[in-house]
Amino acid sequence: MRAAASIVARVHAMTSAAETALPAPVELWAPGSAVVALGQGDGGEEAVAVWHVSPQGAPTGAWLVPAAEAFGEEETARRLLTSLERRGITGAVPGDVERILEQLSKAAGVDEWWREQLFSPVLAFEEVVARRAEIEKVVEDARATKNVAVVEWPADVTGYDVREFEDLRRVARLSRTTGEACGTAILVSRVLRWLVRQWAETEQVKNRRPYVRDALGEPQALPPTWLAAVQTGSVNVLPL
């Protein structure tokens, strides 16, 4: 198995100027996450990509391994699982993610372990929308007795019918990638980065408006299901 140093360079090349021009959100602490993808490798063969992402969804490590090695060699499978343990795990298609993890675990001789570490970007988006609705309700109730302004969001994420990852990609206004494994992993990590931004902008209202914090609690680092996945993963050490 090789660390994909060349892929990391490609990440920077594929990052749009518009994205890099955006101001960085105030950092909220969050544990690590990982993206897994199956697709075409550099040489045209089927390959498995594993992508580490920072709390903002930026790539911090990448591995690209031929699927024949990942699913057929115990040592390679174990090394890939080592890169996934103690992290929340996601991908573009939930069923594909589970199949990848199942095959890796079978090759490594490890029993099922990943269920509570999986999270869905689509569900995380729904939680962003729901949290904003909660905040708006608290503010509206406060306006009945206080002179407070309505909440104005930097980006409106309401009114979208998001059922699959492709829907979410369109809402985030990110370009579609090819069927390459690393391209899919890059896209998912960029969607995660966008989600973190939307969530941070949402939770920061609690810091600016104490009455919102009193009603809804302290700011959270990530949407609830995503945070639960990374918290579960942070203490799950595999017998490798």
Write down the pLDDT at residue 208. Answer: 95
Q: How many domains does the chain have?
A: 1
Residue 109 structural domain: 5-233
Q: Is residue 240 included in any domain, yes or no?
A: no
Which long-range contacts link 193-196 to residues 24+ away (Cβ below 8 Å)? Answer: 193/53, 193/56, 193/57, 193/58, 194/57, 195/57, 195/121, 195/124, 195/125, 195/128, 195/223, 195/226, 196/25, 196/30, 196/55, 196/56, 196/57, 196/222
- The reply to whether 91 falls in a domain is yes
Q: Look at residue 239 and tell me if it is in a domain.
A: no
Within a domain: 219: yes
Q: Does the structure show a pLDDT above 70 at 1?
A: no
pLDDT digits (tens, 9 = 90+) for 37-92: 999 998 889 999 999 997 776 778 899 999 999 999 999 999 999 999 999 999 99
- Nearest partner of 32 among 200, 226, 237, judged by Cα: 226
Mean of the pLDDT values across residues 166-187?
A: 93
Residue 120 covered by a domain: yes
Residue 178: partners with Cβ closer than 8 Å, 6 or more residues away: 40
pLDDT bracket for residue 23 (50, 70, 90): very low
Q: Give the 3-state DSSP-derived string for 117-171, with helices as H, strands as E and coil as C.
A: HECCHHHHHHHHHHHHHHHHHHHHHHCCCCCCCCCCCCCCCCCCCCCCHHHHHHH
Whether 214 is in a domain gets the answer yes
